[in-house]
A and B are shown apart, each in its own frame.
Chain A
Amino acid sequence: MNWMAFTPELTYVAMAAVFLGLSMAREDHRRDFHTALVFSAVGVGVSLASAGVTADLFAESYRVDLFSQVFKVLLACGFFLVVVLCNELSGVKRRLHPEFYLLLTTSTLALMLLVSSVHLLTIYVSLELSSYSLYVLVYLRKNRPRRESTVVHYFLIGASASAVMVFGIALLYGSTRTMYAVEMARVLPSVISQPAAAIGFVMTLAGFFFKLAVFPFHFWAPEVYEGAVNQLTTYIATASKAAAIALLVRLTALGDSSAALAQVLVVLSIVTMTVGNVSAIVQKDLKRLLAYSSVAHAGYVLIGILSMNPAGYAGAVFYSAALVTLKFTCFMVLVKVAADGANITVDELAGLHKRSPILALALMLSLFGLCGIPPTIGFIGKLLVFTAAVEKGYFTLVLIAMINVVISLYYYLLVLKAAYLTEPKAGLPPLPVSAGDRLLAGTLIVLIVGIGFYPDPVIQIARSAAAVLL
């Protein structure tokens, strides 16, 4: 067995073990942050180092290929960035910090396993490992009224999605007599026209619809985004979404060119983006607003996936990278503005342009990116998925998506208005932004605009990654 291929995962296993030990130590927890920072940085390095490796592990139920490695790099970067934000983790009791990092690590580990899994049971187990870590993590927030109800809400929807998924897997197994994705790709085209196989397939996707917050499994998003610690919300909005997109792409590529499946996804995509955008308009809490915007983005990503062509899959891969960058930038600003790890309303962004010009600029660009305004990375993402959809003849769908973009512009502009047009409330000092934060914000700004202007290298990576699937 080629252990090199498994090093990123092993790094996170080691990290989890360390934090398990730390959580039992009753000493001071000042070093937790730095330990996490070092480990997650090593994780990024290891994932990058193993980016070109290919291997089939564990009785071929686990595949390491360019597609999985690209997502592992993305996940490692996302995780590292979230840890960077944990500098002031004031939303969690100090003595629970090791547990927080432990669970965050196991969740990341699970997502890494997920993107490489090519056996339905491995997929299911990885998905659950990630979800259970998140259920507990959501509960860790201190001084949050009704946090039990948030967690139960989250858990119930997650459990229902899992139940649907397991049932789907059973149906799928019944029709194809296999659990292996490779085998399934061979058998599925001949049986996908049977109702049992088609329904089973869509139900199998349900687990990822839940992760990605696709209608009708999106109801947890606003609750959980609002209830979780800001840093955790960042994680849920970035890394967790990227992995969900990866798996949706991998699985949909199996049921290639099924018209019925495409129709279902078209409907889900339209409903999801419309529900997300329309609900976001009335939100006052910034995290709830971003939650609904995530729902809307799930709808846009589905457009790339349902196109079921190489361009669409590559578009979805690119889109996930774009989402991680843009959402992270938004949340970074949110974390920095929210004193004491509290939630903030849109109005509390007032006067951000005076309190910290660089954060305001980062926020503006990320909002434009989320809206899909050129020249940002978000526009290229939309361009790629829309082009793929038009190639398949889904012109009306693209038009509907563009109308949704116009709706979304309204609430993004409301956020921008708060940050740029209003004066800071009396007595609010300028935000203390450290040199490191400036560097991070600057890097993100350069990424958002730079890739927006010159996306070719990233598009090439996304294309090669997607090409592995076909």
Chain B
Amino acid sequence: MPTVYADIPILSAILLICLGGLFLILATPRKEAARIKKISAVSSGLTLAAAVYLFFAYDRGVGGLQFAEKISWIPSLGISYFNAVDGFSLPMLLLTGIVFFTGILTMWELTERVKEFFALVFLLVLGVYGLFMSLDLFFIFVWYDVSLFPMYLLIAVWGSTRKEYGAMKLTLYLLAGSALILPALLYLVVASGLDTFDLLQLMDPGTFTPAQQRFAFVLFYIGFGILAGVWPFHTWSPVGHVAAPTAVSMIHAGVLMKIGAFGVLRVGIFLCPEGWKYWAELMGLLATVGIVYGVLAGLRQTDLKYVIGYSSVSHMGIVGLGLATVTVDGLNGAVYQMFAHGIMTALFFSSVGYIYDKTHTKAIAELGGLSKTMPKASAYFIIAALTGVGVPCLASFWGELVVFISSFRVYPLYGTLAVGALAVGALFILRVVQKTCYGPENAKWAHLPDVSFGLAIPRMILVSVIVLFGLFPSLLFDMIRTASIPFMAGLP
């Protein structure tokens, strides 16, 4: 794979914008909440613009790693600051930019401890951006933890339903994940004998024996898999999602869970392809159980956010199933699904967040007839639901379709089960839509205002992205292929 170095360090610029935004927010007096929000919106908008630019400026004909920047950071340990993007990470950067920007706009009406909230969100997103663009194992680990720890405070301070429990559970689970990742990283770095944390050098075929790869892959798979909501390590996820405030749920389900899947791909699969092939069948099994389980558990929920939380488990299972096929199509579908699911859940949580902010309830039974009282809010909710169901012309459809096709070829049984489960899932999501948006109107909510124009902006952005990538899937697939085809071809 060629590596094209950047003339202008755009990737570092994204990180610096996040960092600069963070310091600007910290420097702004607490009282000036409006200015803090403006700073947040502008900085997050700038990172989005940079991500969009990268997405289109990436030379698909050349492929490989582009916009690379490399500086020796801790020479005594072989650690370098090495950023670059390829067809796998660019969709993730774009996703982060979109969810970050819309998440900030969604929280426009926040009044409680505004300064700390936005500062922590910036810190979190800094970690997320860093992880997606980093190619040095040390930095990948550092960014991973930078993105996790703000979550504790974000959920515990600004959350709702059982927030302290949810925050503690989430943090402990995710740190348990990193407790597996760090030893595995060190194991591979030491085993390579190269004295470097550089992912590109370590992923040379023949660096690790198949036995080493099989061993390390399990640790990476579980470690990152916890964050990706892999069954049976998913239990933190619905609880955490429910407890988190709207923007945090959006970023969390939309982007953070992708970090897990991306980590499995970037670290686990890149470094240990033999291990990947060896454990693929088990990964497929766990993913399928996750899909089925997520749907069945979702059927029983009475809380709107729990419904989305469990649907996330099931949708992330599709990503896992795609990865488990060990095929180009599987990889393409998985990465596409990561992107699509990120946008879709962001829309889901932002629409539910609005409903909750106004009605102060997430109980499905207490809602009803919202399409009459809040037609716009329920329209966004319905679009998100349809995307979740996998309706054609909306983004998720393509990811799911490609994953299912490739999984039918490799694991006919798992593929059948997964598709069956999704059919049931469609049923349960539509049931939720029916109970909340249609049916008898609840008089209690009749006086509530609908989504204002300002608050509609982030939701409209999300909807248009969903439609855009639903109508033109090749926009993304062509990008992912520039990475997946050479990668699979390079495997021994």
Residues of A within 8 A of B (CB): 353, 368, 373-375, 379, 383, 386-387, 390-391, 395, 398-399, 402-403, 405-406, 409-410, 413, 416-417, 420-421, 454-456, 459-460, 463
Contacts and interface: CB of A to CB of B under 8 A. Distances in A.
Contact of A421 (B142, B164, B183): B164
Chain B, interface size category, equals 20 to 34
Please provide the 6 A-B residue pairs with the shortest distance between their CB atoms, ordered closest to farther. Answer: A402-B179, A374-B142, A390-B186, A398-B183, A456-B74, A390-B190
Contact of A409 (B142, B175, B190): B175
B408 interface: no
A358 to B, nearest CB: 11
Interface SS, B side: helix
A409 B168 CA distance: 10
Nearest to A463: B76
Interface in B66-86: 73-77
A406 B149 contact: no
B146 interface: yes
B83 to A, nearest CB: 15
Contact of A375 (B142, B153, B175, B179): B142
A420 B74 contact: no
B164 A417 contact: yes
Interface in B110-169: 116, 138, 141-142, 145-146, 149, 152-153, 156-157, 164, 168
B235 interface: no
B187 interface: yes
Contacts of B142: 374-375, 379
B183 A386 contact: yes
Given A368-B149, A395-B183, A456-B74, A421 B190 contact: no
A399 B215 CA distance: 13
A221 B489 CA distance: 59
Contacts of B73: 454, 456
A15 B77 CA distance: 41
A382 B492 CA distance: 35
B145 A373 contact: yes
Contact of B152 (A399, A416, A456): A416
A423 to B, nearest CB: 11
Interface string B180-213: 1011001101100000000000000000000000
Contacts of B74: 454-456, 459
B171 interface: yes
A386 B182 contact: yes
Interface in B343-377: none
Contact of A406 (B116, B156, B176, B186): B176
Given A410-B168, A410-B172, 19 more contacts: A374-B141, A386-B182, A390-B183, A390-B187, A390-B190, A398-B183, A399-B179, A399-B183, A402-B183, A403-B176, A406-B179, A409-B171, A413-B171, A417-B164, A420-B156, A420-B157, A454-B74, A455-B74, A456-B74
A459 B76 contact: yes
A456 B172 contact: no
A456 B72 CA distance: 11
Most chain B CB atoms below 10 A, which of A398, A405, A406, A410: A406
Contacts of A416: 152-153
A390 B189 CA distance: 9
Nearest to B168: A413
A14 to B, nearest CB: 38
A410 B146 CA distance: 18
B92 to A, nearest CB: 21
A421 B168 contact: no
10 contacts: A375-B142, A383-B77, A383-B186, A386-B182, A390-B187, A398-B186, A399-B179, A405-B175, A409-B172, A417-B156
Contacts of A395: 183, 187
B393 to A, nearest CB: 43
Most chain A CB atoms below 10 A, which of B164, B176, B189, B190: B190
Interface SS, A side: helix
Most chain B CB atoms below 10 A, which of A375, A390, A417: A390
A460 B74 CA distance: 10
A413 B190 CA distance: 32
Contacts of B183: 386, 390, 395, 398-399, 402
Contacts of B156: 417, 420-421
A402 B185 CA distance: 13
Contact of B186 (A353, A387, A403): A387
Nearest to A392: B190
Contacts of B175: 373, 405-406, 409
A262 B175 CA distance: 29
Contacts of A405: 175, 179
A445 B371 CA distance: 51
Contacts of A368: 149
Nearest to B163: A421
A114 B286 CA distance: 57
A417 B141 CA distance: 25
A368 B178 CA distance: 14
A360 to B, nearest CB: 10
A40 B164 CA distance: 44
Contact of A374 (B76, B146, B172, B190): B146
Nearest to A364: B153
Contacts of A421: 153, 156-157, 164
A353 B112 CA distance: 14
A421 B159 CA distance: 11
B101 to A, nearest CB: 25
Most chain B CB atoms below 10 A, which of A395, A413, A455, A456: A413
A379 B145 CA distance: 11
Contact of A456 (B76, B141, B164): B76
B146 A386 contact: no
Contacts of A391: 190
Contact of B179 (A379, A383, A403, A454): A403
Contact of A413 (B76, B138, B152, B176): B152
Contacts of A454: 73-74
A420 B164 CA distance: 12
A405 B168 CA distance: 15
Contacts of B153: 416, 420-421
Nearest to B182: A402
Given A406-B175, A413-B152, A375 B146 contact: yes
Contacts of B179: 399, 402-403, 405-406
